[in-house]
Amino acid sequence: QVQLVESGGGLVQPGGSLGLSCAASGRIFRINDMGWYRQAPGKQREMVALISGGDTNYEDSVKGRFTISRDNAKNTVYLEMNNLKPEDTAVYYCASEVRTSDWRLYRYWGQGTQVTVSS
């Protein structure tokens, strides 16, 4: 199997910055994409940022404020979040589409990390 372990998150004031990281490990043959999703209370989970190869994709409300990057050698994805707003408050989940060593294709999820933007 594959495990995604997230770190980062916490409490930050509006306008502040925060970084998240997520490392994938296990029976990985190839990682197709890695990304971040978030879910606020009472709302559906939404994609925040996704990186696949050299391509990145962002949810409209975070464009220009969030940056996703990836270290292929470490199977790790990062999310740098700047100019945070209260509406960014949510549980952030790492996700990755992985081709496993036994040739399964599956999207794996991390356990989630809380990001709270509040004064």
SS (H, E, C) the chain: CEEEEEEECEEECCCCCEEEEEEEEECEEEEEEEEEEEECCCCCCEEEEEEECCEEEECHHHCCCEEEEEEHHHCEEEEEECCCCHHHCEEEEEEEEEEECCCCEEEEECCCEEEEECC
Residue 97 has pLDDT above 90, yes or no: yes
Encode pLDDT of 47-86 as tens digits: 999 999 889 999 999 999 999 999 999 999 999 999 999 9
